Amino acid sequence: MHVPGNSALTMLQSHVKAAPDSAIVRNERVRLSRLGTIARDYLQPSTVPFLKVDTQGYEDRVPDGAPDSCDRVSGLQLELRQQLFDALVERLRALGFSIWAISPGFHDHDSGRMLQVDATFFCD
């Protein structure tokens, strides 16, 4: 995994320009676990969980790790970068989620262009 100042993946040049601390500092090997695997330890039948996903650029991979997630969580919040937005919203819709709120996140100070938002989803 890349270890920059603020994200695990290589950032777009526009993001690096707007946030110099996103430049890669070093690389590390880390163990990854699927959400569906670790959820068994945390999600009890009587709970109604809301999941905050902050995977530093890997948000598009989270639905792959828990394809039955709508059956297990009531809602989730994700950081969405510009290049992931459309595809990830569509994937979550296919899993039964709909978007309820979008909160501004990070933007390019020179152009004003939004580079990242927090999006909140709930099951339909």
Show pLDDT as tens, one digit a residue, over the chain (124 residues).
666 655 555 556 665 666 666 667 778 787 877 777 777 787 777 888 888 887 777 787 777 766 666 677 888 898 887 667 888 899 889 888 999 999 998 888 888 888 889 999 998 8
Which long-range contacts (C-beta less than 8 Å, at least 24 apart) are formed by 56-62? Answer: 56/6, 56/7, 56/8, 56/9, 57/7, 57/8, 57/9, 57/11, 57/81, 58/8, 58/9, 59/84, 59/88, 60/84, 60/87, 60/88, 60/91, 62/35
DSSP 8-state class, residue 34: -
Quote the tokens at residue 16: 């690096």
Report field, pTM of the whole predicted structure over 0.75: no
